[in-house]
Amino acid sequence: MTRKDHYYNKAKQEDYRARSAYKLKQLDAEAGLFGPGNTVVDLGAAPGGWLQVAAEAVGDRGTVVGVDFQRIRDLEMDNVETIRGDMTDEETKAKLRERIGDDGADVVISDMAPNMTGEYSLDHARSVHLARQAFEVALELLPAGGDFVAKVFDGQDLADLRADVEREFEYVRSIRPDASRDSSSELYLVGKHRITAPVREGDELDVVVDDVGSEGDGVVKVDGYTLFVPGVETGDAVRIRVTDVKAKFGFAEVVEE
């Protein structure tokens, strides 16, 4: 039996609407995407396999909002909502923003794929375009620490897309789930822990140390973002260079004058 048959049959037996459900399960197992109570946005969600997997993972206190221009048959799951629309239209993005509200989402996932023409470079370019739409939405909806997943067909424009995602997340991985190996060019870019920090690695700033933390490092707040600086005392006025930027805090060192 080929792998395709295996996941197709498994989906039928386990009541998933699409065999792609197993891709999301494998992505979650490898990259740790979902937690109970999370809010998840699923782009290109029809027929609903990913919606089922995400809804099970976030549980009753969580919410999954799926978007597709195709109709998504009602899933009869209380924690799933759907919006019908094209994610390249501003109107659909506005509806989604309104639904998610100011608290934002914990995870934005996209399985959007173009209609295949069979001309490889065109299909690749269109898939990168859709992944970029999803990336844009992720930047709008994810607060610090949020995660992003987008399907893309491998090819010449992937490196640029990946570099752009790397600037906005702590780290990025490309994952080819076992369940998708029958279509060789498909992979998922996974951005973990969105960074919204007001500083970047290498920035230099003049600061006054606010406090000293329990580990003995100085604590400097920049627009609410915490930087830990070793070897300083509360009240010190120093010039610092940012050495590492994480989602929720970062590190800096004193620049010797």
Ligand X SMILES: C[S@@+](CC[C@H](N)C(=O)[O-])C[C@H]1O[C@@H](n2cnc3c(N)ncnc32)[C@H](O)[C@@H]1O
Q: Which two tokens stand for residue 33?
A: 């995407």
112 is an interface residue for ligand X by CB under 6 A? yes
Kindly tell me which residue out of 86, 166, 178, 211 binds ligand X, with binding defined by CB under 6 A: 86
Residue whose C-alpha is closest to residue 51's, from 115, 137, 133, 109: 109
Q: Whose structure tokens read 């979902």? A: 34
225 is an interface residue for ligand X by CB under 6 A? no
In this chain, which stretch among 18-26, 32-40, 165-173, 182-190 interacts with ligand X, using CB under 6 A? 18-26
In this chain, which stretch among 94-102, 111-119, 181-189, 245-253 interacts with ligand X, using CB under 6 A? 111-119
Give how far the C-alpha of residue 41 lies from the chain's centroid of Cα atoms, to the nearest Å: 9
Site residues for ligand X, 48-67, by CB under 6 A, read 48-50, 67
Name the minimum Å distance from CB 255 to ligand X.
47
In this chain, which stretch among 93-101, 105-113, 116-124, 139-147 interacts with ligand X, using CB under 6 A? 105-113
Pick the closer one to ligand X by CB: 46 or 219: 46
Kindly tell me which residue out of 4, 17, 97, 99 binds ligand X, with binding defined by CB under 6 A: 17
151 flagged as catalytic = yes
Query: Residues near 120 by Cβ (< 8 Å), separated by ≥ 6?
Result: 155, 185
| Euclidean distance between CA atoms 28 and 192, whole angstroms | 12
- Of residues 23, 25, 93, 151, which has the active-site annotation? 151
**CA distances, 45 to each of 78, 111, 136, 209 (Å):** 16, 7, 17, 48
153 is an interface residue for ligand X by CB under 6 A? no
Pick the closer one to ligand X by CB: 49 or 177: 49
Q: Whose structure tokens read 């996209």? A: 110
Kindly tell me which residue out of 28, 111, 123, 186 binds ligand X, with binding defined by CB under 6 A: 111
**Count of residues binding ligand X (CB under 6 A)?**
22
Kindly tell me which residue out of 40, 54, 108, 113 binds ligand X, with binding defined by CB under 6 A: 113
8 is an interface residue for ligand X by CB under 6 A? no
21 is an interface residue for ligand X by CB under 6 A? yes
Kindly tell me which residue out of 6, 8, 10, 47 binds ligand X, with binding defined by CB under 6 A: 47
Q: Are 41 and 117 in contact (CB under 8 A)?
A: no
Number of other residues whose CB lies within 10 A of the CB of residue 30: 13
Kindly tell me which residue out of 7, 11, 20, 240 binds ligand X, with binding defined by CB under 6 A: 20
Residues of this chain that interact with ligand X (CB under 6 A) are 17-18, 20-21, 44-50, 67-70, 86-88, 111-113, 130
User: Active-site residue numbers?
Assistant: 151
